[in-house]
Structure 1
Amino acid sequence: MDLLSMVLIGVGLAMDAFSISVSRGLALHESETNYALISALSFGTFQAAMPVLGWVSGLEIQRLVSALAPWAAFILLLIIGLKMIYESLIMEEEEFIFSYRELLVLSIATSIDAFAVGVSFALLDISIWLPVIVIGLITFILSLAGSYIGERVGHIFENRLEALGGLILILIGLKILLENVSFT
């Protein structure tokens, strides 16, 4: 596989993590910039690890995962999105609270599609190691940038944008569901 293809796959896989980083960055304050680094590291690590798991797992698990993954991602993102919207409505000027649990759930939800990419690499007999490095680095960089973009925009509009961030998560989950599930 050529480097351009790896980069394009990496960017495609990183878009959900980037969007979530922007939405979570909306609630950040300058004193909480460590969250941006930690979340970028988490997203990048999961985006890099999931293709390896998919590559190792092979075809049999792909059938199960491909059927359940869109629903799992949708439900996880819906719950977190609704939580963000709820918190934006009931909490005025509330400080952003870093949660490793929430970050873990978001990291898993955004990297489920990377698992399927890993399975496809195995089926195509593509070495996994260079693509994994590219995917992980791109996701890390875009997630870090997304957090900072969200933080900068968030200060302009104050904390009301957390509801927008929650809506973004719900829409990402819905997009994943609609792209991967047949309702006929």
Structure 2
Amino acid sequence: MPGYDMTRRAAIGAALASVATTKSRADDTAALTNEDFIFEITRSDAEWRRFLGDERYYVMREVGTEWARSSELWDRYGAATYSCAGCDLKVYDEKQRRPLDKGWVFFHHAEPRSVLMSIDRVSPTAYGGSGMEEEGKELIEVQCRRCGCHLGHILYLEGGIVHCINGIALTLQEI
């Protein structure tokens, strides 16, 4: 679906250019960066490490990827909602799950106003064994809107656009 991809890219690019231009005019600085955005939930790096633990910290704050089939959520289905493990914001609903036997948790889309997207330039060390090791490859990253934690990526798989989410980045609330 190249047309859809181009429309999304054009919209994101226009929005970022608008923000960067506004900021540039206001105080004559360079382009907007992640450090310029203030999330509702903020913690120091040490606080995030203590709160998340080593594995979650690696995935959620260092933009890593869990090993395929390592999360207990990847093949678990049933009435549930999924929240960000960093701040407990509801980000996905079981009704939007897409069953794909790839080893991660897939959704058609997120809850309204729950995630942000950015560009993630792949580092071969960040995706050990995930099949995304091509250095410099750009992916659309999915982040929690409230705390900025990395949840996963948006991918085109098996004829559709899906949110490919790390199970370790989610907490499950059964309904």
TM range (shorter): under 0.3
Which structure dedicates a bigger proportion of its chain to helix? Answer: 1
